[in-house]
Amino acid sequence: MRLTFYGGAQEVGRVCMLLEEGPKNLMLDCGIKLGETTEYPLIHEDELLRIRNISVSHAHLDHSGYLPHVYSKKARPKIFMTKPTRDLIGVLLSDYQRIQAAKHEGKKLFGSKDVDDVMRDARIIEYLEPFQADFKVQFHSAGHIMGSAMTMIENGPKKILFSGDICMRKTRVLDPCERGLSAETLIVENTYGTKEDILPSYRESYQKMISIIKETVDKGGHIIIPSFAVGRAQEVLLALDDYMRSGAIPPMKIFMDGMIGKAMKIYRHNAIYANDDIKKRILMSEDDPFKSPNFHHPRSKTREDVLKEPCIIVTTSGMLSGGPVLFYLEKLAHDPRNAIIFVGYQAEGTTGNKVLQNEKKIQIYGKEVELKLRIESIRLSGHADFNELIQYIRSVKGLKRVFLMHGEKSELKDSIDKDYDVIVPRQLETYAI
């Protein structure tokens, strides 16, 4: 079998690999890399027409965003994903379509029809339900966001496991990823691939968040929490709601803005994929955590109600690359009583990363904005950290070969390469497995 990396090698973003044997092929993820400019998988248009199958590990655009491009080139591979992934990509791809149409006026790269067609054609696969995609394939739960999957590919005696993005901890909403699977080859993310990437416990991180919120509200300030629409936002919102109910943080409005509300609804519709705590709360007590009375949406486009009094604003985009968070920053950044709390990964080159590196002036809608508000970051990742990745890799039975991808630096290699054949792949390189 041959494995080619069209993206996601030594970078976080545009995950896209092709697994093939003779005429049989399966593309593993089909993502883009969003930043100041959008980067696409390094696959030639003509080659797309020979792709027969695509499996999608989860809805984040760095794993799914290239699907409508594939459709716009008239390729019609079979596409496989879980139900929450299908529902969530509907929101994310439509938003991406609007943004790119505005950017590339006149010569848009794909249309809303391509998004609709992807949604219509996607084949829904349950966890543990075997399916044929030239090879025998099965999804296992990955714990990263709702519907996220690890992909097990079987070809005769060969077993290849692609982790997708994984989380090893139980979160507010989800159970951790499945462990102890058997595979000879593992293709694993290493977003947190350096020795410094050891994350504190969620409890520690939330304690820090609670104190920042209390101190800010005491001064009469607003708290901005930039977040990805899907995944971190739901975790953070449910945690904030819990802490408010228990009295750990004072009562105030928690606003959600951007696509977070839509993603929240999809999480609610797919609550069967949540962990038992959430299911019990919904089924047995009619206490629906997704519809808490503490949650609010801005009442108008001017968002005056949000700016009026101290409150918490959870909004997109997570890395300050667009979305309503820029509106709030423009309005609130000048006042040192306010605070911004980062909760997610900030990729190199993004505005979020620059702010964390202490840059005090940023451009918003072509205007320079000085940041006088308090800037904090807590580590609440949906990814396995350095130590957890080692544990995960060691939990795979019969493992011989490890590809470390979806990471900027892979120091992880040094920790495991006495036990396995470890490869840090390069873009456009093909490996025999």
The alpha carbon of 183 is separated from its chain's Cα centroid by a whole number of angstroms, namely 25
Is residue 216 within 8 A of residue 310, CB to CB? The reply is: yes
Between 85 and 338, CB nearer to Zn ion? 85
Of 88-96, 158-166, 179-187, 260-268, which segment contacts Zn ion by CB under 5 A? 158-166
In a 13 Å sphere around the CA of 318, the CA atoms on its Cβ side amount to 20
Is residue 354 within 8 A of residue 339, CB to CB? The reply is: no
Is residue 147 within 8 A of residue 59, CB to CB? The reply is: yes
Q: Minimum distance between the CB of residue 62 and Zn ion, rounded to whole angstroms?
A: 4
Is residue 236 within 8 A of residue 314, CB to CB? The reply is: yes
Query: Is 383 one of the binding residues for Zn ion (CB under 5 A)?
Result: no
Between 338 and 346, CB nearer to Zn ion? 346
Of 22-30, 37-45, 109-117, 162-170, which segment contacts Zn ion by CB under 5 A? 162-170
Between 83 and 383, CB nearer to Zn ion? 383
Q: Minimum distance between the CB of residue 189 and Zn ion, rounded to whole angstroms?
A: 7
Give the bridge partners for 18, in sequence order: 4, 27
Q: H helices of 19-154, where? A: 45-48, 61-64, 67-72, 83-103, 112-121
Q: Minimum distance between the CB of residue 382 and Zn ion, rounded to whole angstroms?
A: 7
Separation CA 24–CA 239 (nearest Å) = 45
Between 148 and 185, CB nearer to Zn ion? 148
Binding mask 21-60 for Zn ion (x = CB under 5 A): ---------------------------------------x
Between 165 and 178, CB nearer to Zn ion? 165
Q: Beta-carbon neighbour count of residue 133 at 10 Å?
A: 23
Between 117 and 175, CB nearer to Zn ion? 175
Cβ burial 329-366 (10 Å sphere, 16+ → b, else e): bebbbeeebbbbbbbbbbbeebbbbbbbeeeeebebee
Q: Minimum distance between the CB of residue 377 and Zn ion, rounded to whole angstroms?
A: 19
Name the DSSP letter for residue 348.
T
Query: Is 165 one of the binding residues for Zn ion (CB under 5 A)?
Result: yes
Binding-residue total with Zn ion (CB under 5 A): 3
Q: Minimum distance between the CB of residue 163 and Zn ion, rounded to whole angstroms?
A: 10
Q: Which of residues 53-112 bind Zn ion (CB under 5 A)?
A: 60, 62
Q: Minimum distance between the CB of residue 187 and Zn ion, rounded to whole angstroms?
A: 13
Q: Minimum distance between the CB of residue 254 and Zn ion, rounded to whole angstroms?
A: 24
Separation CA 117–CA 150 (nearest Å) = 25
Q: Minimum distance between the CB of residue 58 and Zn ion, rounded to whole angstroms?
A: 6
Separation CA 360–CA 334 (nearest Å) = 11
Query: Is 20 one of the binding residues for Zn ion (CB under 5 A)?
Result: no
Between 20 and 165, CB nearer to Zn ion? 165
Q: Which of residues 336-355 bind Zn ion (CB under 5 A)?
A: none
Burial label, 398 (beta-carbon count in 10 A; 0-12, 13-18, 19+): exposed
Between 165 and 388, CB nearer to Zn ion? 165
Between 60 and 296, CB nearer to Zn ion? 60
The footprint of Zn ion (CB under 5 A) covers 60, 62, 165
